Amino acid sequence: MAYVEMLRARRVLVWFAGVLAVLVVLVVLSATQAHHRAMIDHTTILLSAILGGAAMGPLLVAGFLANGLNAEHATTAILWTRPLARPAIAWRYVAVDLAALVVAYVLTIVAALICMAAFGVLPWLQADAHSVVTVPLALACPAMLYGWIQLIAARLPGRAGAVAGGMWFAMLVLTPLLIAPFPPLLHDLIAGLDYLNPLIWLGNHGSSEDGPMLIPFSTGWRAVGAGLIALVALVASIQLWSTREA
Amino acid sequence: MIAVRGLTKRYGGVLAADDVTLEVAAGSVCGLLGRNGAGKTTTFRCLLGFTQPDSGEVRFDGEPLAPRTFERLGYVPERPGLYGWLTVAQHLEIVRRTQPRYDAAFATELVATFRLDPRKKARRLSKGQQAALALIVALSPRPAILILDEPASGLDPVMQRVVLDLLIDAATSGAAILLSSHQIGQIDRAADQIAIMRDGRIVVAGGLDDLREASRIVEATFEGTVPALTGLPEMKIELAGTSVRAHANGRADVVAARFGALGATSVRVLDRSLEDLFLDAVDDGGDR
């Protein structure tokens, strides 16, 4: 059944690549304006910043990919009458989707590099100590978002799109709220929720500008942590999905 | 072979399937009949593991349902759950990739028979064509066990006949087929045994010929008055003037002979249609 999800993921990636292509064209056209180029000072651009920022691509795609398994409630008559155990079917879907997240990540990096080349800043790109470990983190965070959507929507057939929308809203709202001057109890509640926020794991925002990081781990350990959360969410979601009644 | 024993499923306070027991042997077509809400679809869902029964046992060829059962089990749902965004050919590709016994030549033949365009997306197919595609998905691996919930709904009469012929061919090849339909004519044509459900229970079950034989009615007319009806087996008798209708319970010949001996001026043995059997079985006394 990975075949169906491969077709679905391909469709999502084609759309995503199309949107990226349009954005790249707009950026390249913009770069041809001389005054824009002049505004950019010579500086160093850390590769880890590009690799981390490129996680936004698979983060966006994760919401669409998570629809796949969830949408199968309408095709149970085909899906659940294959000679495969339901968890095996679900894991195949997840494997395809995670592979698609990697493709989305690569596409985003390529798009970023093209944009940088258009502005003539590509030579300023410099590898740094965090570059290598940023890659697994940038993949683990979208996987974490994907896992959350799967988990929340596992018993809500056909609602993964709405769950994805809600997740994005929550992630975007919870991230700035972390540094807002709320009373301690409310702040702790927001911080607690932010431990589950993929954007926090990716960006590691602190509780204040100079204060301690919410997740006081190195980039590598954050990648491991986000990956483990994604794994736990996926295991739980597949358990729920496989045992639901059609 | 499909064997169901004591299958019970309750949704809240509603007993959707109540101690359902039936058996469909290899090479046999069992028509499952019942009014809407009688429990047919619930029974199917329990059979296929889509929902867990509260109690009871389901076995296919002696084994409980397991993923590998679906290598030899085909299912056609009441509403074709197709991938609207995939083409006919892509649906067949799903089956090819997942069913070890997929018969590509047979699938191609079925696509031609139902006049489907392999390049057409499922959502662009008519209702009947979608039903046909769902059938092809189920039939193309030539399953030894077939469970079909209203398989011919939406098909035109010619295609309905084609479907029934396919099912009869499959049964002739040794498949055990459980078929639900509201079109009694379809069941009458394809099935050799029936089970009629009412309020979640199977109220009538058996071979179609046996049930017909058992349900024959002997109608006799007497001159003047009806004499004392002695020497008859125990059965339901309706009197109307000088006429007598006896529900012969499979002993029509004996009853007809006895009416003759009692002086009946005319004796007729009436065969009953499957529709009559069905209506009798589901009659709750208030609807008709």
DSSP B211-278: HHHHT-EEEEE-SSSPPP--SPPS-EEEEETTEEEEE-TT-HHHHHHHHHHTT-SEEEEEP--HHHHH
Identify the pLDDT of residue A73.
Answer: 86
Q: Taking 60 as the threshold, does the pLDDT of residue B129 lie above it?
A: yes
Whether B192 shows a pLDDT value over 90: the answer reads yes
- Structure tokens, A28: 């390249």
CA distances to A27, B86, B223 from A15, rounded to whole Å, are 18, 17, 87
CA dist B195 and B176 (Å) reads 14
| Mean pLDDT, residues A10-23 | 97
Nearest chain A residue to B141 by CA: give it.
A82
C-alpha to C-alpha distances, A89 to A4, A11, A159, B137, nearest whole angstrom: 11, 20, 20, 18
Q: Select from A10, A149, A158 the least CA-distant residue to A76.
A: A158
Name the strands in the sheet holding B243-247, side by side, starting at the edge strand that comes first in the sequence: B236-240, B243-247, B217-221, B266-270
Q: Backbone phi, then psi, for B219, in 5-degree steps? A: -115, 125
Average pLDDT, chain B: 91
Among partner residues A77, A82, A88, which is closest to B81 by beta-carbon distance? Answer: A77
pLDDT digits (tens, 9 = 90+) for A173-207: 988 888 888 898 998 898 889 889 999 999 864 44
Cα–Cα distance for residue pair A74/B79, rounded to 1 Å: 10
What's the predicted TM-score (pTM) here?
Answer: 0.87
The closest of B284, B248, B287 to B267, measured between CA atoms, is: B248
Name the DSSP class of B84: T
| B165 phi and psi angles, rounded to 5 deg | -65, -40
Instruction: Give the three-state DSSP class for B23.
Output: strand
Asked if B107 and B92 count as a contact pair (C-beta separation under 8 A), the reply is yes
Q: CA of B138: which chain A residue's CA is closest?
A: A78
| Tokens standing for residue A20 | 């990226």
CB–CB of B69 and A83 under 8 A? yes
Mean pLDDT of B84-90: 96
DSSP string covering A67-88: HHHHHGGGGHHHHTTSSS-HHH
Strand order across the B145-149 sheet: B73-76, B145-149, B176-180, B29-34, B193-198, B201-207
B115 touches chain A (CB under 8 A): no
pLDDT band at A136 (very low <50, low <70, confident <90, very high): very high
**Cα separations (Å) of A34 from A27, A40, A41, A119?**
13, 11, 13, 10
pLDDT greater than 90 at residue A215:
no
Strand pairing report for B217-221 and B243-247: antiparallel
Query: Residues with Cβ < 8 Å from B271, sequence gap 6 or more?
Result: B212, B216
- Quick check: B57 and B46 in contact, CB under 8 A? no
Q: Which residues of B are less than 8 Å from A246 in CB distance? A: 45, 50-51
Q: Please, which residues bridge with residue B207 across strands?
A: B193
Q: Indicate the pairing of strand B73-76 with strand B63-64.
A: unpaired
Of the candidates B68, B76, B83, the beta carbon closest to that of A4 is on B83
Q: Which of B274, B133, B283 is nearest to B190 (CA)?
A: B274
Q: Does A7 touch chain B (CB under 8 A)?
A: yes
Check CB contact of B146 with chain A, cutoff 8 Å.
Answer: no
Return the bridge partners of B205, or none. B195
d(CA A190, CA B66): 45
Retrieve residue A105's tokens: 């990540």
**Tokens linked to B263:** 């002086």
Please tell me the distance from the alpha carbon of residue B41 to that of residue B148, in angstroms, as a whole number.
10
Check CB contact of A1 with chain B, cutoff 8 Å.
yes
CA A36 to each of CA A6, A26, A29, B176: distance values in angstroms, whole numbers, following the listed order = 41, 13, 11, 74
pLDDT tens string B244-278: 999 887 888 889 999 999 999 999 998 888 888 88
Nearest to B137 among A3, A74, A78 (CB): A78
SS3 B206: strand
Residue scoring higher pLDDT (B182 or B176):
B176
Is the Cβ of B100 closer than 8 Å to some Cβ of chain A? Answer: yes
Q: Are B277 and B196 in contact (CB under 8 A)?
A: yes
Q: What is the pLDDT of residue B225?
A: 86
Q: Is the pLDDT of residue A61 over 70?
A: yes
In B, which residues are within 8 Å of A77 by CB distance?
Answer: 75-77, 80-81, 134
Sign of CA dihedral A238, A244, B2, B3: positive
The predicted structure's pLDDT at residue B284: 62
| Complex ipTM over 0.90 | no
Q: Which residues have a Cβ under 8 Å from the Cβ of B7 and sit 6 or more positions away? A: B17, B19, B20, B21, B43, B46, B53, B55, B56, B57, B58
**Of A75, A77, A83, Cβ closest to residue B67:** A83
pLDDT of residue A43: 77
- A-chain residues within 8 Å CB-CB of B68? 83
User: Crossing angle for the helix pair A86-118 and A56-65, nearest 10 degrees?
Assistant: 150
Burial B232-270 (b: 16+ CB within 10 A, else e): beeeeeeeeeeebbbbbbbbbeebbebbeebebeebeee
Q: How far is B236 from chain A (nearest CA, A)?
A: 45
Mean local confidence (pLDDT), A62-69: 93
> CB of B218 within 8 A of CB of B252?
yes
Report yes or no: A83 at the B interface, CB cutoff 8 Å. yes
Q: Are the Cβ atoms of B67 and A80 closer than 8 angstroms?
A: no
Give the Cα-Cα-Cα angle B7, B11, B17 (nearest 5 degrees). 25
- Amino acid type, A214: L
pLDDT in tens, B17-75: 999 999 999 999 999 999 988 999 999 999 999 999 999 999 999 999 999 999 999 99
Residue A24 · residue A119 · CB < 8 Å: no
